[in-house]
Structure 1
Amino acid sequence: MPAPTGVSWSPCSRSRPGTWRRCDPARRPAPRRAALLPLLIDLGLPLAVYYGLRTAGVDQWWSLLWSAAVPAVTVVARLVRTRRVDFLALLVLSMIVLGLVVSALTGDTRTLLIREAWTGMLGGLVGIWLLASVAYGRPALMVVFRSFVRAKAGEEGLRAWESRWDQDAAFRHGLRVLTVAWGAASLLNALAQLAFAYLLPVDAAPAAMNLSWPVIVTPLLLFHLVYTRRHGLRA
């Protein structure tokens, strides 16, 4: 059946064969490139700046300094674009600026790397929080999941999903397993960052430190998707 004339319609709005409904742009899935762009900026741009400057003959200290400034610029740009005070972003920005000031005062290349690693220890603290929550009450990952479940299933779906904690032992076990997995991965990444910053040659450390989390999280995400589907943990 052809779409009616005079209004904006799209095949993306077809609900079943032969029927149409008005296309709501807000309901269209975001392009994959829009989701990947922040990741490429956060991980790829600092590396591109560092190794680009090194190739151009800039010394290690200045190359690290400019590459470390990239996250600060991106945080400020996001705050300006959204026009919303993000306290986590402000915390990250303040830590970056403080680290740059300390590094500038010491003039030590290794200090810049170590500053990056200790900033990454925030993820280690999150990992410890996740692991500790398994032993005390509901796993913290359940709190993280709430917004996703609410967006997918609504308030009633969220209440039904949460009620499974009291009724389903397999559900409790599954959430504990996932929480331990994510907590261990976060802590492992933080420790790897510290090891790379202290032990690797300066020119090798930035690449290792930036690639550490993607290498860890990729198989973890695959495990998460398979495990939640197989054990019925999704809303």
Structure 2
Amino acid sequence: MTAPAPAPRPGGRRLLLQLLVDVAAPVALFYVLRDLGASTFAALLAGAVLPVVAAGLYWLRDRRLEGMAAFMAGVMLAGMLVSLISGGTRFMLARDGWVTAVAGLFFLGSTAARRPLAYLGARPLLEGRFRSDGTPWETLWQTEPAFRRIWRVSTVIWGLALLADAAARIALSYTLPLDTVPALTGLLWPATLILLQLVNGIYYRAAGLWHLTSGRGRHTAETARAVRG
């Protein structure tokens, strides 16, 4: 009997497409609709629908939705509903900030979970691909305390960065002219992600992550027992 094929890993093209759908497309749609005479609230609402629709299409195609993607789609949908009930344009502008704040808290809370979010997000992208000797990450998680500590610290870095990003979004949404906010908050996403990649990359190198994944810096329980013996 043939073993079932493993689920495909998200590649760079898929991630770029998701960034375009979730960030660039809503901003572009907002300004197109404003030029056509739509109200600020209606243009924002139309842009907010796109990521939710995209998440639904991914689910229809794959019949599965990653936990974080489902969480984000649910929070964004809740934000849209609250905006419709309140009718507040400023709240709708700040919606991404509130979503980001919830995501940041979710990251921080996951440090106490069985597997933190930074680990769950990085594993499909990096395991067996980058500076790896082929050892499964779950094996490293079970045997290397340093490996577990690295991913919990990385998750804290993500959580704090997302909270800082959220604070900036909310402040911009309630202080700047309405039509200026979408462009500026849209630019915050790549700035935050690039900064996160730089900070995490420096931390991973300093903490020895790539030594662990490549097999050069491991101190497993079996090795320790062999040394003591």
Give me the TM-score of the superposition, normalised by structure 2. 0.68
Identity %: 32
Distance of 1:121 and 1:45 partners within structure 2? 22
For residues 150 and 69 of structure 1, the distance between their equivalents in structure 2, rounded to whole angstroms, comes to 31
Instruction: Give runs of aligned pairs for residues 36-51 of structure 1, distance below 5 A.
Output: 36-51=16-31
Q: Distance in 2 between matches of 1:96 and 1:38?
A: 15
Partner deviation per Cα, 1:21-72 (whole Å, 9 max, x = no partner)? xxxxx9xx98743431111111111001001111223221211121111122
Contact 2:10 2:125 in 1 (8 A): no
Which structure has more relative contact order (CA 8 Å, sep 6+)? It is 2
SS of structure 2 residue aligned to 1:124? helix
Preserved contact between residue 117 and residue 155 of structure 2 (Cα < 8 Å): yes
In 2, the alpha carbon distance for the partners of 1:216 and 1:37 equals 18
- Alpha-carbon distance between aligned partners in 2 of 1:158 and 1:94, rounded to the nearest angstrom: 29
The residue identity in structure 1 corresponding to 2:31 is: Y
Q: 1:120 aligns with which of 97, 100, 103?
A: 100
Match of 1:188 in 2: 164
Alpha carbons 1:124, 1:191 under 8 Å: kept? no
User: Aligned with 1:189: secondary structure?
Assistant: helix
CA distance in 1, matches of 2:122, 2:80: 36
TM-score normalised to structure 1 length: 0.66
1:136-184 per-position Cα deviation (integer Å, ceiling 9, x unaligned): 79994675378459942344x643464331xx6xx67755653443232
Q: Output the CA distance in 1 between the equivalents of 2:117 and 2:69.
A: 21
Aligned-partner Cα distance in 2 for 1:137–1:103: 32
Specify whether residues 142 and 86 from structure 1 end up closer, same or farther in structure 2 by C-alpha distance, changes over 3 A only. closer
3-state SS of paired residue (2:178): coil
Report which of the two structures shows the higher radius of gyration computed on alpha carbons: 1
Q: Secondary structure at the match of 1:204?
A: helix
Gapped regions of structure 2 (runs ≥ 5) = 1-5, 129-133, 214-229
Letter in structure 2 aligned against 1:203: D
Change (3 A) 1:196 1:229: same
Structure 2 counterparts to residues 23-38 of structure 1, below 5 A: 32-38=12-18
Ranges in structure 1 where 5+ consecutive residues have no aligned partner: 1-25
